[in-house]
Chain A
Amino acid sequence: MKKLLIHSNNTSFNNTELFPLAEQFVFDVDFDKDVDFYINENLTDGGLKLKLEKCDIVFIKVSLSKNYLEYLGLRLAYHIRLTKSLGAKAYMPIVLIAEESFQYLGLTHPEPSILFTKGIYLIKELLDDYQKALKWFADGRIKPLDDFSLFVNSIFINPPANYQSHHSIANEWALVRYFSMLESDDTNTSYVSLQNKIYDLDYLKTLHFKHIEAKANRQKFNSKKHTINAILKGIEGKKIGIIDDEINKGWLEFYGYILNKSKATAMPFNNFQKDETKVELIKKIEQWLLEIFKLVDPIDIFIIDLRLHDDDFSEQDFQNLSGIQIIKFLKKYNPGIQVVVSTASNKVWNYQKCLDLGVKYFSVKESPETYNTRSETIASFSHFSNQLSNAVKDVFLAEIFRKIEDLKKNNIFSKITLEKDKKSANLIIEKNGLLDQIFNLLRLDNSDEAIIHQCLLIAFQILENYCELGMVGNFGSDNSSGNRLSSGSIWAKDESGPKHIFINQPNQKISTWFELVNGRFPFQKEDSNETPVSFNVFESMRLISSYKSGLDISSLVKMITILYFRDNIPKNDVNQIMALRYYRSNVAAHLTGKVKTNYRINANDISFFIDVFTRLFK
């Protein structure tokens, strides 16, 4: 019979008549190590592993220290059962040696569940008991554990006491779990550094981790089905800010690796100090953000954890969480900045509160309490990936906000003298004016067609208001010819005075610098009437038929006049405005049925207008 005795020189069984020295292991915790680490080390590549591999039954003294109530023998028994590298030896019969009964140990140990599982036996410090145990093992009455799955589900292990809540466990669990499902990438230095960081995580050596890992590993790993793709779509070239206090526990390497694989860059706040107060931490992060805002190429997307400071774990008021304070700071500075809240909390009401702050994207870190299967892990990572990709799509909002704010501060409207024009200009740039309305609508939901249509209507309202300003041009109508324009002139930007663009002449003629070109836009239905789709510009003023020129009182003509001839907007851009104007009139404002149903405009078209406004108003 191959047997082993584990003790701390506190048993009579260490007599060599019972256990020769080769069948003994003296448990002596190195005081510079945690007990779990000491046990883990000995069971994975230490002397205890070698001895266990040679035996079929192990006797463990319940007390393995001078301080009996620590019951370290029970802790060791859990470790033996849950250490994967022991293979089948992890299931061998464990005979505990104690003067206490099962019931007494159960009453006085905070984690007694292993006592009531198969393969665990208890004897007293009596020669007779020892001899009976050997006999019972020999005749098969003492048996190994036969159902590991049942065992794993029958035991309960408390998380390490310092883990503030399940959040901290989820942070490390999710990291390990995601990593375990990444395709091996040993030649990638970011991957290797992530791997090293994970192997060094203290939590992996704890009994709690071993238990939840054993629970999760009930499902076999299928490399075809259960591999996470580290490349996130649509984030190439982006700089992504990361504010997460778990950054030093492997998340920096994790984000670093997947962002690097996705050709994006991780920009972490990496100055968490243990002794600082929450107020100090928040102030420090805000300072860091202010520095980032000054960059020529600022960061417009952040992954933020809600709990960044120890105090957050006892915080009752959601609004006071440090992550929320940071989000408020960001959103106040630029509501277009995108935030992905990465949290281990799955409380729905917290999401609602984040939505109120303008946060649309959430990623819940996988936690052992909420996830069990590998498919769920894939879903969890995939959700994170989608949320980040979607947030990146919204990053243009930050740029739009910057442009609008800049336009509000620096524009040509200060030169307006006419009261009527002042009102028109104010309508565009004042707080909650037309520009703000566009931004707020886009922020609400820029994938919604109705919202984009509303933005388009506002954009044309702004253009029309602008073209009517006396400071940019002047359009006169000829009463004798009904609603035909008699002239259109612009005020040159260099203040060199007015310049005529077209003037009505007698006999239905018009002198003009341009004429409209009729045709059909590609998105128009075949059977719809032709419409102005572009314009021809002449080298000098030409006298042409007024009727054929198409130059009437329409705002289209005014726009071409002002935008092309005064503000030097390139012809292609003016053509695009003409196309959007047709769409506006036949889809957004009136559903005339002249536009093909599969044609849609999107947020890029609205961004285009903001760029045009920047060129016009500055």
Chain B
Amino acid sequence: MKIAIIEDRIARLDQYTDFELKKCKSVSIITSLDFDNLLVSLKNNDTKPLDQYECIASHRSALSNDIRDTLKEYCRIKRKPLIFFSGGITSSVLKDLDFPFLHINSKEFYAENLKMFIEACEESNTVNLLVLQFGKKWKLSLLLNLRNNIAVALNKKALKLQFPDSEIDDSELIKRVRDLQINSAIKADLVNEKTKVIFSADDLTPVSYDHVQDIKYVLDRVINEMA
């Protein structure tokens, strides 16, 4: 696991981090001459120097629009997690459409969550940007998402009954296990005596209204405990 941090303001790195980031084996800090060389490569659309990294974090303002686009396109094609950090970012936002892409404020980037993120990457050999964004509460976001998705699907069912002519497709409702779209990272947290039937079933197994209520019940409890 290798994570690249592209940073033109190396003093800030020392200023914000209260752990030895430079000593983290999985982290390469690309700065000074290496930074200049990387810019030259990216200007020439040569992204090979980035192939060795599983995740790329870059100071957004250090890159021109063109180079940013090159980097984004590279990450989109490789489905490689990308982080842009900048002092001008007020709220962190994660998009995970074509590839995991996080915008985060510089100070929040160089904070405690970064250490947790690096350790999590090293431990699991996968990149989970939610850890960088929310630290210990990273699972909560997935749980809240799931609860919302279930609520939306259940209400769509109610709407379909109320407005039979409305354009609600069956695919928008929860009919089978796969329709729940439960992230594997939180499955273990939701298993209990009642829900284990669902989690042990295959994706195409039908799901009843009671099953959904059982999951929702566990979900509410786990969410409340995490606050």
Contacts and interface: CB of A to CB of B under 8 A. Distances in A.
Contacts of A314: 15
B141 interface: yes
Nearest to A111: B91
Interface residues of B, number: 56
A10 B144 contact: no
A65 B93 contact: yes
Contacts of B137: 69, 108
Contacts of B54: none
A65 B94 contact: yes
Contact of A69 (B62, B134, B153, B162): B134
Given A17-B166, A67-B130, A67-B133, A11 B152 contact: yes
Interface in A174-222: 202, 206-208
Contacts of B134: 69
A35 B68 CA distance: 18
Contact of B151 (A66, A107, A124): A124
Contacts of B12: 310
A208 B90 CA distance: 9
User: Taking each of A29, A34, A161, which has the highest tally of chain B beta carbons within 10 Å of its own beta carbon?
Assistant: A161
A520 B212 CA distance: 110
B103 A277 contact: no
Contacts of A206: 90
B155 A127 contact: yes
B31 interface: yes
Contacts of A108: 137, 140, 227
B141 A31 contact: no
Given A12-B152, A12-B156, A104 B89 contact: no
A276 B94 CA distance: 31
Given A15-B163, A34-B103, A127-B159, A63 B144 contact: yes
A278 interface: yes
Contacts of B92: 70
Contact of A70 (B8, B94, B147, B224): B94
Given A15-B159, A29-B95, 9 more contacts: A10-B149, A12-B156, A31-B101, A67-B145, A68-B144, A70-B91, A202-B88, A309-B11, A310-B12
A98 B147 CA distance: 10
A99 B148 contact: yes
Contact of B90 (A32, A34, A275): A34
B9 A69 contact: no
B151 A68 contact: no
Tell me the interface secondary structure of chain B in the complex: helix
A16 interface: yes
Interface string B153-189: 1111011001100111000000000000000000000
B155 A125 contact: yes
A438 interface: no
B141 A68 contact: yes
B19 to A, nearest CB: 15
B87 to A, nearest CB: 3
A107 B154 CA distance: 26
Interface in A88-131: 98-100, 104, 107-108, 124-127
Interface of B: 8-12, 14-15, 31-32, 62, 65, 68, 86-96, 101, 103, 105-108, 130, 133-134, 137, 140-141, 144-145, 147-149, 151-156, 158-159, 162-163, 166-168, 223-224, 227
A533 B167 CA distance: 109
A299 B152 CA distance: 68
Interface string A64-80: 01111110100100000
Given A69-B140, A70-B93, A275 B155 contact: no
B106 A162 contact: yes
Closest 6 CB pairs of A and B: A162-B87, A69-B141, A68-B144, A12-B155, A125-B151, A161-B107
Contacts, number: 143
29 contacts: A10-B148, A10-B152, A12-B155, A15-B166, A16-B166, A17-B163, A17-B166, A63-B144, A63-B145, A65-B93, A67-B93, A67-B94, A68-B141, A68-B144, A69-B137, A70-B91, A70-B93, A72-B93, A100-B144, A108-B137, A125-B148, A125-B154, A126-B155, A160-B90, A160-B105, A161-B105, A161-B106, A161-B108, A310-B15
A599 B223 CA distance: 83
A36 interface: yes
A76 to B, nearest CB: 11
A275 B145 contact: no
Interface in A435-457: none
A313 interface: yes
A68 B148 contact: yes
Contacts of B155: 12-13, 125-127
Interface string A273-308: 011111000000000000000000000000000000
B107 A126 contact: no
A311 interface: yes
A98 B151 CA distance: 9
Contacts of B133: 67
A68 B66 CA distance: 31
Interface string A466-498: 000000000000000000000000000000000
A16 to B, nearest CB: 7
Contact of B152 (A104, A125, A202, A309): A125
Nearest to B103: A31
Interface in A236-252: none
Interface string A1-42: 000000000111101111000000000010110111000000
Nearest to A126: B155
B15 A17 contact: no
A59 to B, nearest CB: 13
User: Taking each of B92, B144, B158, B227, which has the highest tally of chain A beta carbons within 10 Å of its own beta carbon?
Assistant: B144
A36 B11 contact: no
User: Taking each of A34, A104, A208, which has the highest tally of chain B beta carbons within 10 Å of its own beta carbon?
Assistant: A34
A305 to B, nearest CB: 17
A66 B90 contact: no
Contact of B145 (A12, A15, A68, A311): A68
A68 B158 CA distance: 23
A104 B225 CA distance: 11
Contact of B11 (A124, A160, A278): A278
A65 B130 CA distance: 13
Interface string A124-164: 11110000000000000000000000000000000011100
Contacts of A311: 11, 14-15
Nearest to A129: B155
A34 B103 CA distance: 8
A35 B88 CA distance: 10
Contacts of A36: 90-91
A124 B93 CA distance: 24
